[in-house]
A and B are shown apart, each in its own frame.
Chain A
Amino acid sequence: MFDVLPDRVPWYVVGPGLGLLIIGLFVLANQPLGASGAYVQTAGLLRRRSGVAVWRVWYFVGMFAGGLLVTQVLRSSQGVRSGYDALVDVFPLAVVIPMVFAGATLLGYGAAMAGGCTSGHGLCGTAQRSPASAAVTATFMATGIATTFLLSVLTGGDL
């Protein structure tokens, strides 16, 4: 709408900004700035489970709302980027959709098994100096990079 943000806010603004959010949430509520836990709590609420951390559901809604504010209000919302241009160039949509679904299922399963994802382990866990988080982070970075290179090879360098 207003187009007041640069096309991409640089890492040296967003990175330290995330660092301050991590500190803020620990100082106020002694909680990690994670994401997969918010999915679990939201699923728990929808399934009417007891003992749901309702504030995590608000946090889940907040992530969506914050994205909405930046992408639709602060940034020009014209010409939505799918973000999947590279993938859609290589595969037809009939392949991309099941591919994204399968990848997302795999990462959800892996996050539940590891007890956290890129934010819970990658950022907050390592910031707490947890050896388990450092191990998880090193592992997903390694398999992520290896898988990306494997996909590149399998697609003849197209991806």
Chain B
Amino acid sequence: MRLNLIGLLFGAMFGGLLAGARLHEYDTIHAMLSLDEPDVFLLMGSAIAVSAPVLWWLERQGFTTPFGGGFSLSRSRPQAHHIKGGALFGIGWAIAGTCPAPALVMVSSGAMLGLVAIPGIFLGLYLRERQMQAGQHVGDGEHREVRPTGAPRIDRVST
């Protein structure tokens, strides 16, 4: 129950920040990928620069999260499906000028092409799921839950 509230709040803050930076607009993504302005690269880089050291430190502390069990980070080795999937994602990203979270914000901003992008994303996810063999757990689009090919997990070096 409280997890649902956390989900709603974090989703809202996430969507709000994306909207603030106008990441839901084709023009912003296009300016980034045509290397006209460095803003989005700097935005992503600073998000990682802020979070990575804290996550590293928290992992070393080994504490228990209030709603998600023991704190653990997930790391895996790059495999062929990562590279192929990433390559297709990048091509689609450049053509559509949006990605999953900004597409939702596109609709909230009143840009009706978001209603074209969102069904497309659902269709793409569904096509991949259908392609995977029946009964096999399909990666649900989130890094930590995905081990469709039995990707070996890099064990953490105990410190």
**B contacts with A, residue count (CB < 8 A):** 120
Q: Are B92 and A26 in contact (CB under 8 A)?
A: no
The answer to the question of A94 belonging to the interface, with a C-beta cut-off of 8 Å to chain B, is: no
Task: List residues of chain B with CB within 8 A of the CB of A12.
Answer: 42, 46
Q: Are A65 and B12 in contact (CB under 8 A)?
A: yes
With the chains together, A154 CA to B147 CA distance in Å? Answer: 38
Residue-wise interface mask of A (1-44) relative to B, using a CB-CB cutoff of 8 A (1 in contact, 0 not) = 00001001111111111111111111111111111111111011
Q: Are B125 and A109 in contact (CB under 8 A)?
A: yes
Within 8 A of B (CB), among A104-130: 104-130
Most chain A beta carbons < 10 A, residue from B9, B15, B66, B119: B15
Nearest-CB distance from B56 to chain A (Å)? 7
Most chain A beta carbons < 10 A, residue from B10, B46, B98: B10
Nearest-CB distance from A123 to chain B (Å)? 5
Q: SS class of chain B's interface: helix, strand, loop or mixed?
A: helix
Q: Are B128 and A109 in contact (CB under 8 A)?
A: yes
Given A103-B93, A113-B128, A136-B82, answer yes or no on A37-B142 (Cβ-Cβ < 8 Å).
Answer: yes
Instruction: Name the one of A5, A30, A86, A99 contacting B71, with C-beta atoms under 8 angstroms.
Output: A30
Closest B residue by C-beta to A107: B92
With the chains together, A38 CA to B2 CA distance in Å? Answer: 17
Q: Are B28 and A83 in contact (CB under 8 A)?
A: yes
With the chains together, A57 CA to B85 CA distance in Å? Answer: 24
Task: List residues of chain A with CB within 8 A of the CB of B48.
Answer: 19, 123, 126-127
With the chains together, A64 CA to B54 CA distance in Å? Answer: 28
With the chains together, A97 CA to B115 CA distance in Å? Answer: 10
With the chains together, A135 CA to B44 CA distance in Å? Answer: 16
Instruction: Name the one of B14, B86, B105 contacting A137, with C-beta atoms under 8 angstroms.
Output: B86
With the chains together, A130 CA to B121 CA distance in Å? Answer: 25
Task: List residues of chain A with CB within 8 A of the CB of B110.
Answer: 71-72, 77, 80
Q: Are B12 and A102 in contact (CB under 8 A)?
A: no
Instruction: Name the one of B10, B49, B78 contacting A19, with C-beta atoms under 8 angstroms.
Output: B49
Task: List residues of chain A with CB within 8 A of the CB of B56.
Answer: 129
Interface, chain A (partner B; CB < 8 A): 5, 8-41, 43-44, 54-72, 75, 77, 80-87, 96-97, 99-149, 151-152, 159
A-B contact pairs, 10 of them (CB 8 A): A35-B101, A59-B11, A67-B107, A83-B97, A83-B113, A106-B92, A116-B142, A117-B89, A127-B55, A132-B151
Interface, chain B (partner A; CB < 8 A): 3-28, 30, 33-35, 39-40, 42-52, 54-56, 58, 65-79, 81-101, 103-113, 116-129, 138-146, 148, 151, 154
Besides the known contacts A26-B65, A103-B95, A114-B86, 16 further A-B residue pairs in the complex with CB atoms under 8 A apart: A8-B22, A11-B40, A14-B20, A18-B43, A21-B10, A23-B54, A34-B142, A35-B14, A37-B140, A59-B8, A107-B88, A111-B89, A130-B73, A130-B76, A135-B78, A137-B86
Q: Pick the 7 closest A-B CB pairs, nearest first.
A: A62-B11, A108-B124, A104-B120, A19-B50, A114-B85, A107-B92, A103-B96
